[in-house]
């Protein structure tokens, strides 16, 4: 697969100088990449062939900055490679087991060595490669590095910076009241129903005053 075979929708979302490498990875197996509207619980996902599908299906949120988009896409490509290399009849692979970690390293290492990424992103990925997290949003160092390249918006703050009891609005318009920290997340309660959610501390939200 050549860089020109990347869809016109996909190319503008990737950092400059990485489309050729991504095209090479996607050309190794049948992989269908689709864009998704922002999701609170995940940045991307992977589904292997099956139930009438002959290709792997990867979805990535379409609101990510180029480096977060690339990192999420490659994370999911590593899942596809793990399935292709290690699947065996009647054998269940752990989603983020040792096999996936090897594929994760194999996918990311050439990119880190290629000197096409900013130094802070490359350093964070080099650290992540040694012990990759199950999700990008679970790797605090990598997530902080990626967040530096988000479009600045002074009206938005990190959930972890809010006081207990503060009210905030998410991108989909839902209102929440913050609770205590639970490891990397905050215990939050939907303002209208009181239903509990766990929101990542590094998620950016809009504070609401006067309620």
- 60-82, pLDDT tens digit by residue? 999 899 999 999 999 999 999 99
The predicted pLDDT at position 89 comes to 56
Which carries the bigger pLDDT value, residue 38 or residue 206? Answer: 206
The predicted pLDDT at position 66 comes to 95
Choose which CATH entry (2.30.30, 2.60.40, 1.10.1740, 3.10.450) describes domain 157-208.
2.30.30
60: helix, strand or coil: strand
The predicted pLDDT at position 18 comes to 94
Measure the N-to-C terminal CA separation of the chain; round to a whole number of Å.
54
The predicted pLDDT at position 137 comes to 61
Residue 5: pLDDT band with limits 50, 70, 90 = low
**Interval 107-149: pLDDT, tens:** 999 999 998 999 999 999 999 898 777 666 667 888 889 988 9
Which DSSP letter does residue 50 get? Answer: B
**Interval 169-200: pLDDT, tens:** 987 888 999 999 987 789 999 999 999 998 87
Per-residue tokens: 100: 């996936």
**Interval 6-23: pLDDT, tens:** 778 899 999 999 999 999
For residue 47, the cross-strand partners are: 57
Domains in the chain: boundaries: 3-147, 157-208
Residue 101 near residue 75, CB atoms below 8 Å: no
9: helix, strand or coil: coil
Which uninterrupted H or E stretch holds 90? none
pTM of the model: 0.78
**Mean pLDDT for the stretch of residues 30-44:** 87
The predicted pLDDT at position 4 comes to 38
């Amino acid at each position: 697969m050549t860089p020109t075979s990347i869809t016109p929708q996909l190319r503008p979302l990737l950092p400059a100088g990485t489309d050729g490498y991504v095209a090479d990875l996607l050309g190794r197996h049948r992989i269908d990449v689709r864009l998704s509207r922002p999701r609170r619980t995940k940045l991307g996902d992977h589904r292997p062939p099956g139930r009438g599908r002959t290709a792997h299906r990867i979805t990535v949120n379409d609101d990510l900055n180029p480096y977060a988009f690339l990192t999420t896409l490659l994370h999911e490509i590593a899942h596809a490679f793990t399935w292709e290399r290690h699947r065996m009849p009647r054998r269940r692979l752990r989603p983020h087991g040792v096999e996936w970690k090897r594929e994760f390293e194999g996918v990311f290492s050439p990119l880190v060595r290629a000197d096409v990424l900013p130094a802070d992103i490359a350093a964070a990925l080099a650290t992540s490669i040694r012990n990759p997290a199950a999700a990008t949003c679970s790797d605090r160092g990598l997530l902080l590095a990626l967040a530096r390249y988000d479009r600045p918006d002074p009206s938005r703050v990190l959930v972890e910076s809010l006081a207990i009891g503060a009210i905030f609005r998410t991108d989909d318009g839902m209102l929440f009241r913050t609770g205590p920290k639970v490891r990397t997340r905050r215990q939050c309660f939907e303002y209208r129903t009181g239903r509990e959610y766990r929101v990542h501390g590094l998620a950016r939200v809009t504070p609401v005053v006067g309620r």
